[in-house]
Structure 1
Amino acid sequence: MLLVLTVQALACFTADSPVMLSLPPWYYCYLCAFSSGTSQGVEAVVRAGVGGTAELSCSLTPPSTGATTPNLFPLHVVEWVRLGYNVPILIKFGVYAPRVHPNYKGRVSLTRGASLLVEGLSLEDEGWFECRILLLDRTTDEFRNGTWTFLSITAPPVFIKTPPTFVEVLQGDSLTLSCGAHGNPRPTVIWNKDETPIEKHEKMAVLNGTLSLATVTRETSGMYKCQVSNSEGNLTHTTQLQVKGPPLIIIAPEDTTLNISQDAVLQCQAEAYPSNLTYEWWKQGQNVYHIEFLKTRVKILVDGTLLIPSLVPEDTGNYTCIPTNGLMTSPSASAHLKVKHPARVGRMPRETYLPTGMGGVIFCPVQAEPPMIFVNWTKDGNNLNLDNFPGWLVNAEGSVFIATANDNAVGMYTCTAYNSYGTMGQSEPTKVILQDPPSFSVSPRAEYLQEVGGELVIPCEADGDPSPNITWSKVGPIPRSPYTVLSNGSLLLKPLSKDHQGAWECLATNRVATVGTSPHAASSVSVSTGMNQANVSWEPGFDGGYTQKFTVWVKQTSRGKHEWGSISVPTSKSHLLVTGLLAGTSYQFSVLSQNKLGSGPFSEITSVRTQGHLVLSLVTSLPTLNPPLFLSANRTVLGIVLQWYPPESQATLLTGYVLQARRDRGQWVILNSAVKANQSELLVLMSRSNKLLSEPSESVNVNTTG
């Protein structure tokens, strides 16, 4: 009998090999032989919580076949299987101890016959289970299967991943806070900041329990809570986030106005993390502890407040508060402190140098708040009366301006300033000394032409007392090519390059004045004509460093070189309408530039012709007059005697002559008075027939110097 059972067991194991448990050989055989049967349902779902106990029902009630048996519970095998497991989790045969799967060791047992009791439940126990019962006292194969029962394990949330309880991050960096939990049902994750749910934000996002911040700012600091919950419970994890960054000024200093000798209090408070704050105060870009008149008086309090006791006028200025904690760029806030005081005069120079023959200023360095009202000056101990010195005046700053410095300016001067608070007294005296301003002994030409690659030396020499210093500069962009100023003041361009092309200026400087060059010639002179007028325009040249003005010169092309007339151009204009021209007549135009140092070269001469009369018949019908002939001037003890001959073969009745004159290069005017002394005048005579005038005669020069 035993031999047969053993053979059956081996045959069964070899064919199917479903189980590897330490059971008697015949037990294996029966399990294999009766592996199929009919189902009898009991329960579909059993619910239990983690850590608890669950009972999966399975009945041992005998089948109702009507047959009688001496044993209500015949010999049988109980087997519990779980979906997904290759071997049963429990097998019980008769009185033998049950065989249990290692994962359920000590946690499963049979109760009330065939029901399965599972203790110490975990989420991993959730799944489908089936009870199988094999009755061994039947002559026929009979294996009773229960329906599949689902064991549902419910569990409150349990954190499996949480961020640190305290996080520091540098301002501007990114940040990720991860939070995850197990539980059944699956927990939901909600993030809150300072008790407020975090909504969707362009710089803050929550995905699968992870909170991401693209750029951390100061406002990101706060208390963050990760809340996980399901039907079985909820948990909360808190993270304190601190953003490290530079201080933030919460109380900035304010502009303050106080009287002299009062105490100043300039507030400045900041907050920061880390909070190791220190404060610096600066005045006009310099640390207050490095300023001689402030460093022993000022005090910076722990909260950043700046104290300045017993204010003096020098305390006026801009003060800047700079809190720092050593991170990133420190902020700053500024305020202006104004100290009101009687007007006073600062440090006067012991000597004041004025350029002989030029304008100069005797400075009075006034300090006044409220502003100065007036300044009194003394010269050589007496009140300075400006009425005695033509061209002298006290300007808005309280300094004496002298149009032309001469020996009258030499002396000892003091000034006393006043405002609505009064005065703090008279200044120290300054001695005015005349010295010669620079004057050019050798000036550069207006224009130089030279080939690229060559060498060009442009001379520039000046005299003065003290000897002036010569400097050169290029007008416009600084040249990339090298240039040298020689010891004699000349400009050396070697090798000459296109980069050197343009306007250059020579400056002669000493302690009394700086003298530049005269302006360069105007260019691109353009003339558009009408019948009796011409519109002249041009491009101004380099101004020599001073404001320049222009004069338009004009003459008939047929006249001699001495016949040029000039017309002044309004300041800042580069065009002029010239009127009073003859129709159908050729004219020449040129433009002269001038500044305070003198005249520059004339522009290129432009020749044009005015438009003729539109009606030719009218032109031909007009009578013509010839000018007088052989005009001469002779000086006698009684004056100048002008002599001339009448025009030849004059068809029109001659009624008289018109005498015109101009002073130097001025405009022509009708002479109606005697010629003044010390003036040179150019005279010209025209024939006259009623209102008809001839062309001018040749002119003569008359010099009345005497």
Structure 2
Amino acid sequence: MTLPWKQLLLLSIIDYCLDSGSYHGPRWRMEPGDLFIPVDSIEEEATLTCDAKGTPPPQYRWSLNGTLINLGLDRRRRLSGGNLIISSLDRYQDVGIYQCMAYNTGGAILSRRASLQFAYLDHFKVHTRSAVSVREGQGVVLLCGTPTSSGDLTYAWVFNEYPYFVQQDNRRFVSQQTGNLYIAKVEPSDVGNYTCAVMNSITKGKVQSSPTSLILRTDGVMGEYEPKIEVNFPDNVPAAKGSTVTLECFALGNPVPEITWRRANGVPFPSKVKMKYSNAVLEIPSFQQDDTGGYECVAENKMGKNTATGRLAFYAKPQWIQTMKDTALAIEERLDWECRANGRPKPSYTWLKNGQQLLSEDRIHVEDGVLSVSVLTLADAGMYQCVAENKHGVIYFAAELMVLASPPDFTGNVLRALLKAKAGTTVTLECKPQAYPIASILWKKGNLPIHTNDRITLSPDGTLRLANVSKSDAGSYTCFARNRFGMSSTTGRLLVTDPTRIIQGPVDMEIIVGESIVLPCQVASDPVLDVSFSWAFNGQLIAKGDGHFELVGGRTAGDLMIRNIQLYHAGKYICVVDTDVESLSAVAVLIVKGPPSPPDSVTVEEVTDSTAQLAWSPGRDNGSPITNYLIQTRTPFTVGWQRVNTVPEIIDGNTLTATVVDLNAWVEYEFRVLAKNSVGVGEPSPVSVKTRTEDQFVGHALLLAPCEPWR
């Protein structure tokens, strides 16, 4: 895998490890692809693409067949960006495998390999072809004798003169593998001249052979004979995943043989398989591993049969299933990378660093797809590539290794200048400098080293923990960090405070609607602490803009005044006290009492000339049980609402029906109900439907009528 030309790059990247600026190694944006150029286009230019990103912008080098292209001495080849442009193409000098390298101060990477080929089709040699003499009924093979070429070819045969072509059927077949024409059983109509026509699929160029005459012998007709397979497929046919596989099979014989296909394992062909040209061609599109195995072609006529066999073998280019990531490690740490690819056959692996192959030595271990580097040094930084390869393809994957080396630096993680902690709690002081390699840590209180005990612990990451702190733990703490590149420190002061106590907090209360109260919240705290108060009502923070609420008090008091209390102010109130070191809270439940809400659904159920039966639904009691109900009425003859007499005379809070008495006959009444509790009388209910009492004389007539004789 190591290419000599890559060694020339070392001088270009030697300063990479010494570069102190911000850089990133190259990453491919575009890699070269295979080119197949018609040979008649050699006067034009060919461009092999190569484009990478990186900081600083990458530079490029190209190799051909493993040898560095010296662009300074090559007038036909030049770079445009990273693209290689070749002018005045030469069929012999420019053909081969090209590879691009992109490099900067971050390292170097190799592109995929790209082939440049020239498609051409030479002319047939000019010579007279001998006539072919056969008996009627005999089979014959006319050879094409394809001239030298490059690129896919297609074949056809001209019969006598252009544009009359041989039509393929069960008796005649043109192989696209050999170009030959096969006639299973010659008939008199076959006599004539045959010319092989070849076309290059890339150049579209066409050439024709000299004609071959087919004549019949006069010594009789060929008798019947068993099939003889002349067109066959190899014993082992490699087939790429997803490709279209074509197998040919054709036999000579008299009578004309019939061609059939079958799989050796007896499994029927899937629907995707197609038969063409009277079954002479078997086509398998989108070849998969399930299509592998033995295939048999059977040629049969009444004289017998013949069988040709072969195997289709599945192969696949490598594809990544596991790759590595860009990695930043401290000097002296260990690197472990692994890459994996699938493919058939199983791929082999190599590793490249800055375009050169890595071999196991000293600190470096390379095995299969695993790369390990122990005790990293600055020289190990660079661009690495894992390469997976089988005989059908090769793939590359790149990742950057950054090796970090620096003295301890607390710029992003200094100790707090002043840390306050409540006595009895645990204090954690973190010492986390940026340092490569990891720094050793030493803590001091004042000028004295700190020693661990059952209350003071030091974690491997440098974190200092002080449990159950007291006033004696207060003071100045300094963390010293050191590695082989230098030392640094950070200092902070610890202040231990007395616990804060709520000496008067809110208590559960009952209050009447419209009144105002103050919910107390007063604390005793260490004077060095900053104290703040906030209140929550039913889980929501009380906003300062609410006109009913006002926070009153000084540094150690956060009393809450509630003015003109309404029913909806009932609920849970929490006073939250926050200091530099702790948070406390006190809870109280406020019950707001008010007159009952209006009763509902007042209905008149039965009416006489002087009474009405009423029923209603209760409203909310608003914090105080309903003691009794009052009923009022009005008529067109009254001014406003008037209280009426009822049975029972006093309607208690558990009664929801009553009879209104002492009403006037034949008068239209409306009724409403009011509820009363210990706070007062509530708002009246909605008004009932207007109801007229009965005529008192109708009532008397009904009573007297049975006593009088009927007239």
Same fold (TM over 0.5): no
TM-score for the superposition, normalised by structure 1: 0.30
Please say which structure displays the higher CA radius of gyration. 1
TM-score for the superposition, normalised by structure 2: 0.29
